[in-house]
Chains A and B, each alone.
Chain A
Amino acid sequence: MEFLNAFVALSNFVLVPAIAYGSQLALGALGVTLIYGILRFSNFAHGDTMAFGAMCTILVTWLLQGWGVSLGPLPTALLALPFGILGAAALVLVTDRAVYRFYRAQKVKPVILVIVSMGVMFIYNGLTRFIIGPDDQRFADGERFIISARDFKSMTGLDEGLAIKTSQGITVITAVITVALLFWFLNRTRTGKSMRAYSDNEDLALLSGINPERVVMYTWLIVAALATIAGTLYGLDKSFKPFTYFQLLLPIFAAAIVGGLGSPLGAIAGGFVIAFSEVTITYAWKKVVTYLMPEALEPDGLLQLLGTDYKFAVSFVILVIVLLFRPTGLFKGKSV
């Protein structure tokens, strides 16, 4: 019984939130890693692309809510998601035409592209704040919980409750579907294969008649979709605030690098590694340990290794450790 209680407490406070957060990070990191693989630069504007996509979704959600359209227990935002993706896709394609294509033609050094993406980041950030403002926005509706702590307690008779929010369930399911679709696309379709070929060896891909502009366009479309989905899920799960998306840049990059830049599988693994370490290190373990230890050994303190505000430090330390011992990441990424 004690053991079960400990496990439920652990699931409630660590496993479930970390899985949801990890899925969001993984989707974000996939976008970063794809840009890195195909366009060969670290896109600093990715966090703000997520914010922009999520913002489009929110605006459409409000419109739908205003019309009285809803999905019943599910959040309306799911219905609005395709429109959000369209908005983000339009934005990144316009950006690519107006900004990145010029530098691609010149074959500038990757670091120049990073600086260019800094400029794009400023513009996206300004746009998002201009349209929706810098404040918190609520757009979640429908059922709040799949299973609430009280229901779980009365169902199982345990002392500890396990609450699973709808947003967490949706996050995981959507992430699984998205990742499955992405891998199917990359491995099975002609366009996906040409993308991988282009990422592996640009010259060879060009020689075999792959149209680079087409590859780049598809990459941006996929990245816009991934960013919007990740941004919306994060917004549903926590809340939408433009600045937090900018701050997500660090864990997302950490995830992509830990997994190995350029490797989609690595991005997913990296996302979960970062999420689990952030949550476990900033969690106060007192409750779980109290259940497991005999009474005499019960801890006095909270058993929290680091305050929650230091979660950046966790992503950072993991990043440094991985870079020191395995510079190409867990799954062999590029080392250009």
Chain B
Amino acid sequence: MSDMTRTLGMFALVAVLILGTGFLQSWNSALLILNMGLVSAIMALGVNLQWGFAGLFNVGVMGFVALGGLATVIISMPPVREAWAAGGTGVMAALAVGAVTLAAAVWVTRKMPKGRARALAMLAVLIVGFVIYRALFDPSVDAIEKVDPALTGYLGGLGLPVVLAWPVGGLLAAGAAWVIGKTALGLRSDYLAIATLGISEIIIAILKNEDWLSRGVKNVIGLPRPVPYEIDLQNDPGFVARAEGLGIDPTTASTLYVKLGYGIMFTVVLVIILVLAQLALKSPWGRMMRAIRDNEVAARAMGKDVTARHLQIFVLGSAVCGVAGAMMTTLDGQLTPSSYQPLRYTFLIWVMVIVGGSGNNFGAVLGGFLIWFLWVQVEPIGQLVMNIATAGLADGSALKVHLLESVAHMRLLTMGVILLLVLRFSPRGLLPER
């Protein structure tokens, strides 16, 4: 029962923090923190599946989050007809050739006897495939990127409702995770870490450079939204009347309404995933996972297929991260590949899981909210502290200016200190696994 009170107490604390932001700063920033907190909580749940349930060390969260973002573009943006006409078929054919080449190479490795002949045959398949692929790919890409590069210059998406992108983001991430898992999961934990770190960098590199797919560093802006636009609300007499009835001015009311809309949708997703994760944890499957985590050799001896189970949970956890990534891009309304930084999208999520309590779903959710709150609020708090600390220094002195400017970097420092303190004094997190 004390577990229950502890959990409730911790979540009450988070509620107080967010409500406090609402009363002291503004309700807009409170809702902003809440919405990103919800997204962060889902990401933390995904990492908790992998690390807390199965002990898999995935430091490629950023890549799966970014794939979710890509799904948003592919699903919701209107297709660019001219670009499809110019090079759509060429790119698709090239991608098909690429896939066939890889499949053929795998087939050669499987079918031929080991030896020099096999290596040469595989190399030949790969080289021929690569040449055909580039011959098809390069001209089509050039053609696509020439189509009105200032506005489009990419294939666009399917023009479907944006909410559909959330499950699709999960599927994309799951597909990538399956490929990575197939190659890297049999390896030791630190090798898996480096492999996932590498994959996430590669995914970001693809998003930044393949302009035909995601417009690269030119960014995709103006993604469709699942909620109404503020300006439409402000022009809607019914809404204005209701806002005035509540005593809020219509502009603020419209921004709050939109953010609340997102908040409700995100809460629904979080609750669904949390319930599923909780059911999984309590099921025989969850017990098996923890048995594998705690003693792999014993679990294998009991006849459990450790590699297959690891692959399964790796794919599931990554899919959850992909869903969260799609939700985040929907919330932002744009895809900016250059904004994906490993410290923010991989390691911060790890801090959330460790601080919240790995192995405990509620812990992961708590960590998501709490660490996100701190990530946002450390800067203003740091500003305040620094202003007091430097009050004695002469105005305009170089040291004072430097210290005040550096406040922006307090975040990373604080996150590191929090992580180390939790690991030292409460290594199982704020809400330990039962």
Residues of A within 8 A of B (CB): 41-42, 99, 102, 110-112, 114-116, 118-127, 129-131, 133-134, 243, 246-247, 249-250, 253-254, 257, 261, 301, 307, 309-310, 312-313, 315-316, 319-320, 323-324, 327, 335-336
Contact = CB atoms under 8 A, between A and B. Distances in A.
B194 A250 contact: yes
15 contacts: A41-B190, A110-B189, A111-B190, A115-B419, A119-B415, A119-B417, A122-B412, A123-B420, A126-B416, A129-B412, A254-B198, A320-B183, A320-B184, A323-B191, A327-B187
A309 B205 CA distance: 6
Greatest chain A CB density within 10 A among B55, B347, B412 is at B412
A196 B151 CA distance: 60
Contacts of A102: 424
A10 B55 CA distance: 47
B227 interface: no
Contacts of A120: 416, 420
A312 B202 contact: yes
Given A129-B406, A257-B191, 15 more contacts: A102-B424, A110-B190, A111-B57, A114-B189, A119-B417, A122-B347, A122-B413, A123-B413, A126-B410, A126-B411, A133-B405, A254-B198, A313-B202, A316-B198, A335-B188
Contacts of A335: 188
Contact of A253 (B194, B208, B350): B194
**5 nearest A-B residue pairs (beta carbon):** A122-B416, A126-B413, A126-B412, A123-B416, A316-B198
Judged by DSSP, the binding face of B is: helix
A131 B409 CA distance: 9
A114 B190 contact: yes
A125 B405 contact: no
Interface of B: 55, 57, 138, 183-184, 187-191, 193-195, 197-199, 201-202, 205, 208-209, 341-343, 347, 350-351, 354, 405-406, 409-417, 419-420, 423-424, 427
A240 B354 CA distance: 32
Contact of B198 (A130, A243, A319): A319
Contacts of B208: 309
A142 B79 CA distance: 55
A316 B203 CA distance: 12
Nearest to B419: A119
Greatest chain B CB density within 10 A among A122, A131, A243 is at A122
Judged by DSSP, the binding face of A is: helix
Contacts of B354: 115
B9 to A, nearest CB: 25
Nearest to B135: A301
B342 A246 contact: yes
B343 A125 contact: yes
A327 B201 CA distance: 22
A300 B138 CA distance: 13
Contacts of A126: 409-416
Contacts of B419: 115, 118-119, 122
Nearest to B423: A116
Contacts of A119: 351, 415-417, 419-420, 423
Given A121-B347, A126-B409, A319 B195 contact: yes
B406 A315 contact: no
Contacts of B194: 42, 250, 253-254, 257, 319
B209 A122 contact: no
Given A121-B347, A316-B199, A130 B187 contact: no
Nearest to B346: A118
A130 B343 CA distance: 16
Nearest to B427: A112
A227 to B, nearest CB: 18
B198 A312 contact: yes
A312 B209 CA distance: 13
